[in-house]
Structures are given as structure tokens and as C-alpha cells.
Amino acid sequence: MSLVWQPSSWRSHTALQMPSYHDTHALQETERRLSGLPSLIFPGEISQLRERLAAVSRGEAFLLQGGDCAESFDEYGQGPVESTFRVILQMAVVLTYAAACPVVKVGRIAGQFAKPRSSDTEVQDGVTLPSYRGDIINGSAFTAQARQPDPTRLLTAYSHSATTLNLLRALAQGGFADLHEVHRWTADFVRSSPQGERFEELADRITQSLAFMEACGFDARRTPQLHAVEFYTSHEALLLHYEEALTRFNERTGNWYGGSAHMLWLGERTRRLDGAHVEYLRGLGNAIGVKLGPSASPDDVLRLMDVLDPDQEPGRLVLITRMGSDRVADRLPPLLRAVRRAGRTPVWCCDPMHGNTVTSSNGFKTRDFERILQELRGFFAAHGQEGTYAGGLHFEMTGQDVTECRGGAQELTDEGLSARYRSACDPRLNGSQSLELAFQIAAVLKAAHKSG
Ligand code: TRP
Ligand code: MN
């Protein structure tokens, strides 16, 4: 690993999971245009997220990071973003209220467009084409034209991200997230579900508490924390041409920042120590996530931490474990122990989705709600056992009424999956399954906080 870091120094390392562009001239032209555009995120916001994550690493807050597996260029308009945002608000309020624990809210949103794939090509009826790698790279239709990586998609991704981010900033700060509006966050299809009803009860209690406090003379209008939330964005930093073009130097702090999101993460497939993705991320001032699957050894983790966080800065690293429900008890404790013994305190976050993907009897890529819960329980148990703090949840969801994951209180079955299976990528929790998950975690957190 060369010691001199530059936004472009990843180019002399092996870059896995990246497309090869035929038209290098068009690619360079796109990179030139992107590098002249404003950063989507500003350094002060990144520092603020880092402070919030430092609180998580001290066991004083909980990280909630969720959104789509992959965003799509076709999902236009306010609906999808607003519905995802309101479910995250609902989950946050459940955790904040029931566990009396501050929640750091981070979306997998406004930039989550690139997907790693297990194979470079896909074969259908004897025809071989490049795999679909997410809308920032190529199109999902099975035609040679759609599957050709197209550099102009980087500019489309930028403008989609800017539009989404603008909407999110408005929703977070403009009144929608006001605690007085808590009853408005429940979507119609969730309202009648058991979790929906449970949420409405909790919302009643919040409304009553606010009214009580106000009757006692507390001036809610002068308390900005009640009216807005801090909401941060994140995505997997996969397409380094895009990330490099949005990297900016900040004179004030003397640091480089990735301008595409507050937090960027390394995938399980791109965390090779000598690889391009590690090289790129190590130079940024952003919060950095690392996905860790069952193959990660304690040594892998410690060496990654040395490279990505040599100065052991609080709030810098979020280790996102995705072991699978049947392996978490076995694979997670050795990592926790090694990191604790090294005197390090990263944020530990559980992704109970990616280690639990299966194919249904009728051919749908799905996940069992029960398995997701099982991995989460295993995650909390492992931290309890090792004396580390179980700091967060990383999950794939949508606010829409989809049928992609089995089980939950709705008891969705294989047959039920076909009704509204809309994911172009991984199966997501729907609005009521997400709420159900939040109630389950709240119960565990509450017990954990009680026992200190
Ligand atoms: N600003 C506080 C927070 O983010 C309280 C708050 C306002 C809140 N609106 C919210 C909490 C919506 C959860 C959901 O914690
Ligand atoms: Mn996914």
C-alpha cells in the first residue's frame, strides 16, 4: 500500500466489482463534469454524524441505518422517498420512546445505486450478457444495449441523489418529522395491522405527554429538537469513478471528504486490504462502514481497522456484521473479543438481512422474518457475552406495501410473495414488518439499558 493518498490513488490497486467502460473518452468527460459540480454533502454535516456515531460507540445511542437494497432511476417523485422516510421515523420513535435511547438515523438512500454481483455475466436462453450492476452502471433489461455500462449514468445518479437529498432535507427539517405529527406517519396499509395498532397507541402516549408538558407551561415552539430530526445518507462506495469525481478537499479541516454521502461503506466483496476500495476510503474524513461476513477472521478485522482508522478516531468506523442466523453465535464472538482486546471501540451494527437470503419454493429471492430476528437475537447475545455494545441495525426496507420477505405478523407465505414482489434486487421488509422489527429491538434495548 502506497503511503501517499490521493483521490485517484485507488487506480493503481486491484478494483473488483467495477464495470469496464468501452468509451473511455465519454467516461473522462463525465468525470470532468462531475468534478465541477457541487458536493452533495458538506464537511460540517459529516463531523456531526461522526460525533453522533462516537456516542453510539460509547453505548449512549443506537444507530438505525436502512433503506432500499438498490434505488432505481425509474422511481420518480415524492412517494417512495417519503414512505421510506416515514417508516424510518416510526422505527426511530419506537426505539427512542420504548428504550429511552437516542437514535442516529441514517438512510441507505440518495446514492445507493451500485450493486456488487457474484458473476460478471448472466445467461438467459443461451444468450450471455454483462450482469446488471445497478442503475448507476447499466440497465436491468436483458438486452445488449441496456447491459452496456454507460458513463452518462453517473450524471443521472448525481441528479437523482440531489433531488432525493433535497426532499429528505425538507422532510427532516420542514415540519414533517415534528413529533406533534406522529400520527401522520402511519401508512394506511399499516394502520390496521397489529404493529400499526401498537404504534398508534404509542403515538397517543406521545401526543398526551406533549399536551401535558405544554399545559404545564413548557413552550414546545421554542424547542427545535421536537420539530426536526437529523437525517444522514449512506451507500456502498462501489463505483470509484463516481466517488473520486465527488471527492473534495476542505481547507478548514485539512481533510478530504467524499461528497456523495455522509457515510460510505465497503462491501463484503470489496474489503480486500490491498484493493482499490479500501485504498479510496482510507483517505476520506467520512464515517466508514465495513460489512463483515462469516469468512472474516479476527486478523482481517484488526488489519482493516489499522488501515481505515490508524488514529483510532471516535465515530470513524462502523463494523456491520452479516453472519447469517445459524452462524452468528459461532462467528461473531471471536471478532468482538479480538477488537475489544485491541482496545478499539468501533460502532458494531447488525445487518440481519444479507446472511439470510434464500430462494422460495416458487423461485423468489426471499428472507424469513424469523431468521432475521434470530440473527438479531444472536447479535445481542454475542455482545452481552463479550461485554461489547450492540450499537445498531442495518436493514433493507421500503415504505411500500410489498410482499418480499416471508413471515412476520402477517404470516406471509411462499404463495403470498407473488402478490406485490417489486424488488429488482434483494427482498425488503415492508412497512409493517419494519415496525415489528423495531418493537422487538426496543424490548431488547430496554432490557439491556435496565441492566446497565
Ligand atoms: N429530534 C429528536 C430526535 O431526532 C426528537 C424527534 C423529533 C424525533 N421528531 C422525531 C425522534 C421523529 C424520532 C422520530 O430524536
Ligand atoms: Mn442487498
Contact partners, residue 99, CB within 8 Å, separation at least 6: 62, 441, 442, 445, 446, 449
pLDDT at 77 (0 to 100): 79
CATH T-level assignment (fold) for domain 9-177+228-451: TIM Barrel (3.20.20)
pLDDT higher than threshold 70 for residue 16: yes
Q: Whose CA is nearest to atom 5 of ligand 1?
A: 226
Q: Please give the torsion angle defined by the CA atoms of residues 172, 173, 175 and 179, in that order, rounded to the nearest 10 degrees.
A: 60
Q: Report pTM.
A: 0.97
Q: Whose CA is nearest to atom 11 of ligand 1?
A: 93
Share of the chain above pLDDT 70, in %: 99
pLDDT at 450 (0 to 100): 72
**Nearest ligand 1 atom, CA 225:** 1
pLDDT higher than threshold 70 for residue 1: no
Q: What is the DSSP track for 149-197? A: --TTHHHHHHHHHHHHHHHHHHHHHSSTT-GGGGGGGS-HHHHTSHHHH
Whose atoms come closest to the Cα of 395: which ligand? 2
pLDDT higher than threshold 90 for residue 188: no
Contact partners, residue 137, CB within 8 Å, separation at least 6: 19, 113, 114, 149, 150, 153, 239
Average pLDDT over residues 369-377: 96
- Mean residue pLDDT of the chain comes to 95
Contact partners, residue 240, CB within 8 Å, separation at least 6: 10, 15, 18, 276, 277, 280
Q: Whose CA is nearest to atom 3 of ligand 1?
A: 229
Average pLDDT over residues 177-183: 96
Confidence of residue 3 (pLDDT cuts 50, 70, 90): confident
Contact partners, residue 414, CB within 8 Å, separation at least 6: 360, 361, 362, 364, 366, 406
Confidence of residue 2 (pLDDT cuts 50, 70, 90): low
Mutate which of 225, 227, 231, 232 for ligand 1 pocket (most atoms within 8 A of beta carbon)? 225
329: left (phi over 0), alpha (psi -120 to 50) or beta: alpha
**At 287, is the secondary structure helix, strand, or coil?**
strand
Cell of 183: 400520527
Distance (Å, whole) CA 346 – CA 340 = 9
pLDDT at 187 (0 to 100): 87
pLDDT per residue as tens digits for the range 322-364: 999 999 999 999 999 999 999 999 999 999 999 999 999 999 9
Q: How far is the CA of 354 from the centre of ligand 2 (A)?
A: 6
Mutate which of 63, 93, 104, 434 for ligand 1 pocket (most atoms within 8 A of beta carbon)? 93
Q: How far is the CA of 203 from the centre of ligand 1 (A)?
A: 13
Q: How far is the CA of 187 from the centre of ligand 1 (A)?
A: 18
pLDDT higher than threshold 70 for residue 191: yes
Share of the chain above pLDDT 90, in %: 91
Answer yes or no: are the C-beta atoms of 158 and 113 closer than 8 Å. no
pLDDT at 89 (0 to 100): 97
**Nearest ligand 1 atom, CA 102:** 15
Distance (Å, whole) CA 229 – CA 105 = 8
Phi and psi at residue 106, to the nearest 5°: -130, 125
Of 258, 250, 251, 252, nearest in space to 233 by CA: 258
Whose atoms come closest to the Cα of 365: which ligand? 2
Q: How far is the CA of 104 from the centre of ligand 1 (A)?
A: 10
Q: 30: how many CB neighbours lie within 10 A of its CB?
A: 22
Please report, for the chain, the start and end positions of each structural domain, with discontinuous segments joined by +.
9-177+228-451
pLDDT higher than threshold 90 for residue 91: yes
Whose atoms come closest to the Cα of 108: which ligand? 2
Cell of 280: 479510496
**At 138, is the secondary structure helix, strand, or coil?**
coil
The residues with which 107 forms a beta bridge, in sequence order, are 66, 233
Average pLDDT over residues 371-395: 97
pLDDT per residue as tens digits for the range 275-294: 999 999 999 999 999 999 99
Distance (Å, whole) CA 243 – CA 240 = 5
pLDDT per residue as tens digits for the range 292-301: 999 999 999 9
pLDDT higher than threshold 70 for residue 452: no
Residue count of the chain: 452
The residues lining ligand 1, judged by C-beta closer than 6 Å to any ligand atom, are: 89, 92-93, 96, 102, 177, 179, 225-226, 229
The residues with which 317 forms a beta bridge, in sequence order, are 288
Mutate which of 56, 84, 96 for ligand 1 pocket (most atoms within 8 A of beta carbon)? 96
Distance (Å, whole) CA 271 – CA 296 = 10
Q: How far is the CA of 378 from the centre of ligand 2 (A)?
A: 20
Answer yes or no: are the C-beta atoms of 368 and 356 closer than 8 Å. yes
Whose atoms come closest to the Cα of 203: which ligand? 1
Answer yes or no: are the C-beta atoms of 138 and 153 closer than 8 Å. yes
